[in-house]
Amino acid sequence: MLSKTVSAVDLVHGVRLRVAELSDADALAAAYRRNRSYLAPWEPQREDAFFTPAGQRAVLRTKLEQYAAGTEVPWVLVEKDRIIGCITLTGIVRGPFQSANLGYWVDTERAGRGIGSAAVAAVVELAGSGMGLHRIQAATLLVNPGSQKVLARSGFERIGMAPQYLRIAGAWQDHLLFQRLLRTPETNRALRAALITTDRLTLDPLGVHHAAEMVPVLAGTEIYRYIGGQAPTKEMLQARYAAQTVGGSPDGSEAWLNWIIREQGQAIGFVQATAAADGSTSDVAWVIGEAFQGRGAATDAARAMLSWLRSRGIGRITASIHPDNLASAAVARRLGLLPTGSFDDDGEELWSGTSFIHTAD
């Protein structure tokens, strides 16, 4: 029985992820009827009875029996009192395998709003930290780049192509196979900063040689109003970077990850993460040079870093923000972090989040 390890999760745009119930039959039937044509190219052929409340009750009984047996978790995506999608882990195998298969769909009227990505990310977290699985596998049709992008955002890697893998829309069709390895002590010990690229920015793993070009970026006084300190010299940065690039604490309890933010090749700031060795949490921070502020670079860089951390199995993100630093608070909210009401000795408030939801600027 998985009920003690599978909890409901608030996602984005007011959507909630929760385990399906038998009483969902009417709402599920309505959702499938709304999306019958939309889903037809991506699913097995369905009998008319499947789209009725009675048909969905029969499906739900089977799924909930498998849920009770520990071999499946059927979630629904709920917006107010309306079901707008499903996501399921099936074929859960324990023993030395510790694996499951992932499938999902989102209502055509809600597609393209990040709901699928948020749901997959949440299930990945629940599967690893809550259910103790080692891996998740997923399959997409070759002509489904949308789902392939959703999987990539949650750290899935393509592992092959399976000819005539599933009978979809009445024909045996080839599928691309993906897997996501979940958090393990071995992968966390190997956590090291890697190059991260987006359409706009490059996050370059920190090196001591970056000190000279970062001196003008970190000059001025406004940067230090809320974080303290003063503009560093080249020698100060060289010493700081030498310590940071060791990679982690001497006792192995933390991984130290630092990146220089570049826009069109020019250094404009930095982001950093201090990750617990067990993969449970990471504290993050971001700093943008005064000349480059106000253009959304902090949000874009932090988003890229959080996506990278999520793909490595990090379960919770925290950030410490001075209560008067409204700009950093706005960045944190865009990343899905929320203030906790707890303050450290320096008067900074702890912000925290687990679902890595990225809201619009």
Q: Residue 219 falls within a domain, yes or no?
A: yes
The answer to whether position 361 is within a domain reads no
pLDDT per position as a tens digit, 101-131? 999 999 999 988 888 988 888 888 788 877 8
Instruction: Give residue 239's pLDDT.
Output: 85
Instruction: Give SS3 for 288.
Output: strand
* Residue 128 pLDDT: 81
* CB 256, CB 248: distance < 8 Å: yes
Is 120 in the same domain as 211? no
Query: Domain for residue 26, yes or no?
Result: yes
Q: Number of structural domains, the chain?
A: 2
Question: Are 104 and 87 in contact, with CB atoms under 8 Å apart?
Answer: yes
Query: How does DSSP assign 41-71, residue by residue?
Result: GGS----GGGGSHHHHHHHHHHHHHHHHHTS
- Residue 289 has φ and ψ, to the nearest 5°, of -60, 150
Same domain, 107 and 135: yes
* Mean pLDDT per 10-residue section of the chain, whose length is 361 residues: 66 90 97 97 96 98 95 96 96 94 96 87 82 93 92 85 97 95 55 89 92 94 89 90 78 86 96 87 95 95 93 88 95 94 89 63 41
Tell me whether residue 358 is in a domain: no
> Does residue 153 share a domain with residue 260?
no
Give the model's pLDDT for residue 251.
Answer: 66
| Euclidean distance between CA atoms 28 and 105, whole angstroms | 12
Of 136, 153, 182, the one marking the end of a domain is 182
Residue where one domain finishes, among candidates 138, 153, 182: 182
Residue 190 maps to a domain? yes
Residue 19 domain boundaries: 9-182
On whether both 122 and 248 belong to a single domain, the answer is: no
Residues 44 and 143 in one domain: yes
- Indicate if 194 and 289 belong to the same structural domain: yes
Q: Are residues 301 and 166 in the same domain?
A: no
Residues 271, 154 share a domain: no
pLDDT attached to residue 66: 95
In a domain, residue 2? The reply is no
The pLDDT, as a whole number, for residue 250 is 60
Q: What is the dihedral of CA 202, 206, 212, 216, to 10 degrees?
A: 50
Residues 220 and 287 in one domain: yes
Amino acid at 306: L
pLDDT at 12: 78
Domain-embedded: residue 359: no
Closest CA to 227 of 298, 160, 279, 156: 298
> What per-residue confidence (pLDDT) applies to 213?
94
Question: Is the same domain home to 340 and 217?
Answer: yes
Q: Are residues 94 and 167 in the same domain?
A: yes
**In a shared domain, residues 211 and 134:** no
The CA distance from 219 to 14, in Å, is 42
The residue out of 152, 182, 212 marking a domain boundary is 182
Q: What is the CATH number of the domain that holds 233?
A: 3.40.630.30
H/E stretch holding 178 reads strand 171-181
Tell whether 3 is covered by a domain.
no
Q: Which residue has the tokens 């393990």?
A: 184
Q: Give the pTM.
A: 0.56
